[in-house]
């Protein structure tokens, strides 16, 4: 049976989401915990990939589990009809196997062909920039000393909604079939002493959000005019955009799916 795992994680200790041969990642950590718990090699497929140091308030991954084939696991000795109890117990046990930096919110039954990555209808990110030195946010937000003009950054963000080709914000040498993305929201807000940038799209290119933020910061700092955003996007060249903002200020906050892929 196929299930969606809903989780969150602090990305600081990890070299991103995707499993790598010589580095600890979020995917690897969850797979090892599941394999130990279920006593069978278990792999998962994430809804996307986050870079080293990027956090996720909401992430999904799908996993295939055959309850009747698992002995002494979270599914053992439970009535066949108790799917909810099985999944609650598995969630509890999995959280006990995982480090504090990863938390499982729920394990949800889905249709057999449901796919955590390809069935996602939208994704949302938050980028945090704090303006005063704070030891409690140094790994959770980007400390930027220079004042930023939030109105100019918002005007430049509005321009993003008028384009669909974002090759200029894609990491170089990335193997993708298309650079087309449909951005539905790109907005700035001031929360306490932090600038918060929220962006939602049907898909994102690798390093795209951090490149956008770095470009907007140059505009907010007054180094570039708002109209520069048009030049960057039309140029379709990563070297024309601003430097990528640091990873530790970025959070994956939401992933949407159609209701029909979930079971009950």
Angle between helices 208-221 and 150-160 (to 10 degrees): 140
Q: What's the pLDDT tens digit per position in 194-231? A: 999 999 999 999 999 999 999 999 999 999 999 999 99
As a whole number, the mean pLDDT across the chain is 92
122-254 topology per CATH = Alpha-Beta Plaits (3.30.70)
Q: What's the pLDDT tens digit per position in 97-140? A: 999 999 999 999 999 999 999 999 999 999 999 989 889 888 89
pTM: 0.91
In the structure, what pLDDT confidence band is assigned to residue 86 with cuts at 50, 70 and 90?
A: confident
Q: Which residue has the higher pLDDT, 85 or 169?
A: 169
Domains 2-118 and 122-254 share a fold: yes
Question: Which active-site residues does the annotation give?
Answer: 51
Residue with tokens 């053992």: 76
Q: Where are the domains of the chain?
A: 2-118, 122-254
Q: What is the CATH number of domain 2-118?
A: 3.30.70.580
37-45: Cβ within 8 A, 24+ apart: 37/73, 37/74, 37/90, 37/93, 37/94, 37/97, 38/65, 38/70, 38/73, 38/74, 39/70, 39/71, 39/72, 39/73, 40/69, 40/70, 44/5, 45/115, 45/116, 45/117
């Amino acid at each position: 049976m196929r299930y969606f795992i809903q989780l969150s994680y602090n990305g600081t200790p990890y070299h991103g989401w995707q499993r790598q041969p010589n580095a600890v990642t979020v995917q690897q950590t969850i797979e090892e915990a599941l394999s130990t718990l279920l006593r069978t090699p278990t792999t998962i497929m994430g809804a996307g990939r986050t870079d080293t140091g990027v956090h996720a308030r909401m992430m999904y991954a799908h996993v295939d589990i055959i309850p009747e084939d698992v002995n002494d696991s979270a599914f053992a000795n439970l009535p066949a009809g108790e799917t909810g109890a099985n999944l609650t117990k598995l969630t509890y046990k999995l959280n006990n196997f995982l480090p504090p930096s990863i938390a499982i919110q729920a394990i949800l039954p889905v249709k057999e062909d449901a796919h955590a990555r390809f069935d996602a209808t939208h994704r949302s990110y938050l980028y945090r920039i704090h303006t005063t030195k704070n030891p409690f946010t140094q790994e959770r937000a980007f400390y930027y000393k220079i004042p930023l003009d939030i109105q100019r950054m918002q005007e430049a963000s509005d321009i993003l909604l008028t384009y669909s080709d974002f090759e200029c914000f894609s990491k170089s040498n990335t193997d993708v079939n298309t650079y087309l993305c449909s951005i539905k929201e790109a907005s700035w807000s001031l929360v306490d002493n932090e600038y918060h940038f929220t962006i939602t799209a049907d898909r994102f290119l690798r390093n795209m959000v951090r490149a956008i933020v770095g470009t907007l910061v140059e505009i907010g700092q007054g180094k570039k005019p708002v109209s520069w955003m048009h030049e960057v996007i039309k140029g379709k060249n990563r070297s024309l955009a601003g430097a990528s903002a640091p990873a530790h200020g970025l959070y994956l906050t939401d992933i949407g799916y159609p209701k029909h892929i979930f079971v009950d």
